[in-house]
Amino acid sequence: MSSHGSTDWARALEHVSPTPDGYQEWVDADYARELLRCSDEEITRLRSSGIQTRGDGFELSDLWNVGLYSGTGASRPELEMVFFGLVVSPRRDWIVPTEYSITLEAACPSEGDCVSDRWESPQLLGARWHEGKSTTGRVRWTGEITVSGRRDIVHDSQAQEVWAEFVNGNSFHYLFMRREQTPELTRTRRVGDCTALSAALSEKLAGHGLSSRTRDGFLFSGREARIHRWVEFEEDNGDWKPLDPSMAVLAPRFFTTEYAEFCKGSLLNRLVRIAPEDTFHVHHWCAEHRMDLIPAVALRKN
């Protein structure tokens, strides 16, 4: 970090695993400048820092990740971390039950041409919905939801070992890749977002004969909510405990080490959970086939 705006890109790149061949998405210098919120001079310096380029283009995920680890405090990926930092702020209580008003909306890709009013919301735990309202091509549900957390810890010693090794050996990466990062690729690159890291951790637990499943939900702060995925581990006695690998690997750098510890079995009261068998999607039947749509979710404290 420097007070004169000169970023050590080579140092930031030490944290970045370049997007592999066949997965790259190329974007131009204007995109890079806007994402990293820096000068033309900085973009020129970045170009000669060793980051992968094609012609004048930069690779999309690499840009997000070099921004995340740049230490400038100004890039959009770092501003995203400010949002998550508020979600897990140590000044807030992490477990007390709180009631919120919730709104969940989705739109059909056919918009005005949509002829179907068949919509199904994801199953949010603790939600009490009013009647859903759909207009042409759109749906909106409103209601109340009580969200609570729980302080706990994973007890199984083998699961603890797998967890410690996983958290120490992996780091967070934004993945805006042409193809999905498979668990095998996560294992090789040792980087991922919440989806990739959850899949890889689940696979690792299964490899040790330990039972787990992935869970979906919405992390929120203020009115804003972001889709999130994590793992739940099943103890010998049948208790399911949350293991949140992406937040745990981010915590020491962007949040607190206390939160990294919280990720090993505790449940946050800023996380709206979806039922174990369901995902975050809104289901919509349009012209007879089912579509899985990504909803927009907003919460307001009552």
Catalog residues that contact Zn ion under the rule CB under 5 A: 108, 110, 114, 116, 286
Nearest distance in Å: CB 293, Zn ion: 9
Nearest to 261 by CA among 16, 91, 94: 94
Q: Which amino acid is at 222?
A: G
301 backbone dihedrals φ, ψ, rounded to 5°: -65, 135
Q: How far is the CB of 290 from Zn ion (least distance, A)?
A: 11
DSSP SS3 for 298: strand
CB-based burial label for 106 (10 Å; 0-12, 13-18, 19+): buried
Residue among 88 and 114 whose Cβ is closer to Zn ion: 114
Residue 211's beta-bridge partner residues? Answer: none
Distance CA 43, CA 126 (A): 47
| Cβ 284 to Zn ion shortest distance, Å | 6
Instruction: Closer to Zn ion by CB, 114 or 250: give it.
Output: 114
State the nearest-atom distance from the C-beta of 208 to Zn ion, in Å. 44
Q: How far is the CB of 295 from Zn ion (least distance, A)?
A: 14
Q: Which residues contact 161 (CB under 8 A, 6 or more apart)?
A: none
Q: Which residues contact 260 (CB under 8 A, 6 or more apart)?
A: 167, 248, 251, 252
Question: Is the separation of the CB atoms in 62 and 16 below 8 Å?
Answer: yes
CB of 282 to Zn ion, least distance (A): 11
Residue 195: what are its φ and ψ, rounded to 5°? -70, -50
> Helix 76-87 vs helix 245-254: angle between axes, to the nearest 10 degrees?
100
**CB-nearer residue toward Zn ion: 110 or 211:** 110
